[in-house]
Amino acid sequence: MQLKFYKKQPKVGSSQPVELDKIICEKEENMNNQFSENLKKIRKEQNLSQEELADELGVSRQAISKWESSQAYPEMDKIIMLCDKFNLNIDDLLHRDIKEVKGEEESKKKLNNSIYGFLKNITNTINMFSRMTFKSKVKCIFEQILIGLILLVLSAIIVAALDLLVSNLTSFLPFKVELFIERLFEGISIVACLIASLVIMGHVFKARYLNYYEEVKDKENSKEDNCSSDDNKIILDKKENKIIIRDPKHSDYRFLRGLYKILIMVVKFFLAWFALFVIFGIIFLLIGLVLSFLTVKTGLFFVGLLFAIISLSLIGLIILLALINFIFNRKSNKKMMIYGFILSVVVFGIGAGLTFLGSLSFDVIEMDNSLLKTQSFEHNMTIDTVIDTHYYDVEYIETNTNNVKVEYAVNKYCDVYEYTEEDDTLSAYVDCKNPMRMVRAVVKNLGDKKITNMSTNIESVKIYANKANIEILENNVIKREQEIEERNNTLNNYENEINRLENENEQLREQIDTLRNE
């Protein structure tokens, strides 16, 4: 039967538009084009040539070619054969794009499969727990709690790191915008970590338990199928046996051992860094061992110091050897290491005692004036001159000069430098450019059995000026201290006001959230 389209002729004198014939022809042409395009797509997807498709439909290859080029149109029985062969309906084949139809079907199929798989996993979980032994149930719940805690810690670290990164990147923005962006990214990161954690826990649970449970069920079903049935016996009730859920290698605690190995690897990583610090400590102890020979004149103090440094070096070597053996899984001679550690502690105690006894003969000098020198600077006096005397012992000495001379007492191995602060206050600092001179002085004093304060600070300040200038300087210092105190009070008030406003802001946000929930 040839499928034909007839045009309805308008009646004479009718108001029907003349364009009706044109619209019908356009619809017919569009349907022919859609069918030809769909036929090409189906044939290519099925890897069929025009000859092969023609043989299956019982037509010539030229007919297929004309159908695909819209030069001809198949009969209705051929259209039905095409729909049956490729599992389509007539409306989709003639009027719709096959790719869109298959895409919709594929989406529906994926959604149905996802829902079916989710429901199947729930059913298998319930059935599995009903058949598991008590020990297997406890182990399963314990593993899930442990995995959840690990993922919780990792999620907290990730969220904190992202929060710190976002706060640093948005620090230049206004406070409200910065707060909004931080809370937005914090919420997104929390939701993302929660979803990722649930997916990981579900995947591990399925891999660890559900898959193995399905294997157990398949084996039981295959055994039942292989057993010969007895028609004369009627089984009214069959009690299922309890099963033990294990991983495929039949190790109850294999997964826990895996987590234990991960924990050990993390511990080894941190111990490796600690071993690096132990190595540097041993190097400094060896340097101290060499330098201790500079105090050989001190007698008992030198002997005790030598014993103490050697014992500490041995303790460091024992700890380093134990760390290396643990990190690289090497066997240790535990008895020798324990005996060596105890012996080193005993030697250290003896050395510390000898050092203390030797130090009793030392003279302790809090301030040795022979180690001090004075440096002076002269300045022109103005009404705004301020000299920073907050950290020093200051002595004002009256003279007849109009200028101001400032004299600093400092370690003779250091130098004093003056500078002007932002508020035009005159200050000073100490710089010891050659510390080896101080080390030699300390060693020399130890050889002479003297312990001297080798401070690098300014010990005292003397200000030479006339009476009027001294009064101005003292008043300027008092005024500066008052200004500093007022500034600090103002800053504290601002901070308190900011904290108060932030608390009010938080309370208003909580009220808004409460109203939204209601």
- Global pTM exceeds 0.85: no
pLDDT digits (tens, 9 = 90+) for 328-372: 888 878 888 889 999 999 999 999 999 888 888 888 777 777 788
| One-letter amino acid of 420 | T
**Of 354, 358, 351, whose CA–CA distance to 312 is shortest?**
351
pLDDT digits (tens, 9 = 90+) for 479-499: 888 888 888 889 889 988 898
> In angstroms, rounded to a whole number, what is the distance separating the alpha carbons of residues 196 and 188?
12
Domain ranges for the chain, please list them: 20-96, 255-361, 369-483
**Of 438, 380, 428, 384, whose CA–CA distance to 407 is shortest?**
428
Per-residue HEC secondary structure of 106-136 comes to HHHHHHHHHHHHHHHHHHHHHHHHHHECHHH
In eight-state DSSP terms, residue 243 is B
Burial class of residue 35, CB neighbours in 10 A (0-12, 13-18, 19+): buried
Higher pLDDT, 255 or 373: 373
Range name among 99-103, 185-189, 361-365 with the lowest pLDDT average: 99-103
Element (H, E) at 419: strand 415-420
pLDDT digits (tens, 9 = 90+) for 40-56: 777 777 777 878 878 88
CATH class of 20-96: mainly alpha
